[in-house]
């Protein structure tokens, strides 16, 4: 019992862990909410592209010592606009344009970072996160930007859902689909940027997609999904940090692994769409078919 109590309370005795918990919780909540739209749209590849697109912006901000969130947001939004523009050419499919810009953005970020002193350490912190080394200013930035992003998302939720579920119907209803696409890309960009310090550039897609995918398996109701996803994201972030502190392992990687464990549990045990539930349903259908067949034989 004492061991469990120490496991729960010890991390809170350290200032760096309290900062990490705040940033991890906000990252999990924001990515959970924004990730719902990404999952509904089936645009995980876009999320991956934006995750890598912010890299050159963050690198430039790091080199010239200005706000990392601003640098990453500008780069991500610029890439989103370029995807939308280049995709207008009917000779190129959207995934082709995404693949080109995906590689170009990441390559540009590495080149920019390689021009600075301490290149290897900087690259590692960007790629894999450095949540235990964040400052009070970083915490404040993440909390303020995260709250603003959640407020904007709530205000636009109805239109974003309409475009996510049926783009043609939304366009026929007069909704500005193109601009709503750009708005969603911008939201994904900001969510990714504020989460970089938690899990890093390589792993941030998991925090964006996995909690929302869990929620998608667990419920058919959109409102419930919008609540479950941020709860799962925050829970995965908290538990990952606890395990990181207890076993002295990489925080970002453990956050992602915990989120993945939640996904596997949802995939297996979801009440309507889980593997076990579907297997039980198929078994019941087989038994009913056999019973009906037996009844027919007896009648003849």
Kindly tell me the sign of the dihedral angle through the C-alpha atoms of 77, 175, 95, 197.
positive
Q: Residue 1: is its pLDDT beyond 50? A: no
Average pLDDT value for residue range 79-96: 70
In this predicted model, what pLDDT tens digit does every residue of 178-206 receive, in sequence order? 888 888 888 888 898 888 877 887 788 88
Average pLDDT value for residue range 227-255: 92
- pLDDT for res 190: 86
Q: Residue 284: is its pLDDT beyond 90? A: no
Banded model confidence at residue 109, pLDDT cuts 50, 70, 90: confident
Q: What is d(CA 115, CA 90) in angstroms, rounded to the nearest whole number? A: 38
Kindly tell me the sign of the dihedral angle through the C-alpha atoms of 198, 200, 202, 208.
positive
Hey, what CATH class is 2-269 in?
mainly alpha
Higher pLDDT, 234 or 120: 234
Average pLDDT value for residue range 220-242: 93
Banded model confidence at residue 94, pLDDT cuts 50, 70, 90: low
Q: Residue 165: is its pLDDT beyond 90? A: no
97 Cβ neighbours under 8 A, 6+ residues apart: 82, 83, 86, 87
Instruction: Look up the pTM and report it.
Output: 0.82
Alpha carbon distances (Å) from 268 to 32, 109, 209, 254, 300? 21, 39, 18, 21, 42
Furthest C-alpha separation in the chain: 87
Alpha carbon distances (Å) from 109 to 7, 60, 75, 240, 263? 39, 8, 10, 28, 31
Q: Residue 164: is its pLDDT beyond 60? A: yes
- Average pLDDT over the chain, rounded to an integer: 82
Higher pLDDT, 177 or 28: 28
The 3-state DSSP class for residue 88 equals coil
Q: What is d(CA 62, CA 122) in angstroms, rounded to the nearest whole number? A: 9
Banded model confidence at residue 51, pLDDT cuts 50, 70, 90: confident
- pLDDT for res 117: 67
Q: What is d(CA 76, CA 82) in angstroms, rounded to the nearest whole number? A: 10
- pLDDT for res 96: 75
Q: What is d(CA 132, CA 28) in angstroms, rounded to the nearest whole number? A: 16
Q: Residue 121: is its pLDDT beyond 70? A: no
Cβ–Cβ under 8 Å, residues 128 and 202: yes
Cβ–Cβ under 8 Å, residues 23 and 134: yes
Q: Residue 82: is its pLDDT beyond 60? A: yes
Among 67-76, 82-91, 114-123, 207-216, name the one with the lowest average pLDDT: 114-123
């Amino acid at each position: 019992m004492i061991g469990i109590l120490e496991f729960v309370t010890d991390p809170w005795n350290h200032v760096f862990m309290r900062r990490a918990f705040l940033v991890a919780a906000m990252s999990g909540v924001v990515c959970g909410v924004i990730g719902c739209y990404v999952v509904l749209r089936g645009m995980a590849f876009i999320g991956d592209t934006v995750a890598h697109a912010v890299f050159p912006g963050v690198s430039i901000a790091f080199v010239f010592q200005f706000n990392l969130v601003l640098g990453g947001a500008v780069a991500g939004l610029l890439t989103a606009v370029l995807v939308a523009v280049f995709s207008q050419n009917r000779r190129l499919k959207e995934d082709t344009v995404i693949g080109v810009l995906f590689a170009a953005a990441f390559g540009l970020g590495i080149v920019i970072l390689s021009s600075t002193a301490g290149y290897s350490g900087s690259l590692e912190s960007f790629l894999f996160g450095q949540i235990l080394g964040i400052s009070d200013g970083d915490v404040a930035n993440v909390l303020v930007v995260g709250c603003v992003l959640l407020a904007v998302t709530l205000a636009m939720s109805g239109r974003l859902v309409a475009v996510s579920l049926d783009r043609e119907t939304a366009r026929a209803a007069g909704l500005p689909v193109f601009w709503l696409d750009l708005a969603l890309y911008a939201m994904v960009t900001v969510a990714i940027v504020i989460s970089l310090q938690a899990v890093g550039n390589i792993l941030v897609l998991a925090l964006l997609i996995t909690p929302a995918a869990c929620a998608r398996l667990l419920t058919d109701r959109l409102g419930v999904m919008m609540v479950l996803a941020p709860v799962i994201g925050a829970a995965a972030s908290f538990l990952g940090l606890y395990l990181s502190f207890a076993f002295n392992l990489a925080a970002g990687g453990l956050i992602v692994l915990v989120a993945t464990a939640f996904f596997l549990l949802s995939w297996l045990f979801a009440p309507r769409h889980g593997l076990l539930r579907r297997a039980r349903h198929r078994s019941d259908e087989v038994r009913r078919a056999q019973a009906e067949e037996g009844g027919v034989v007896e009648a003849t």
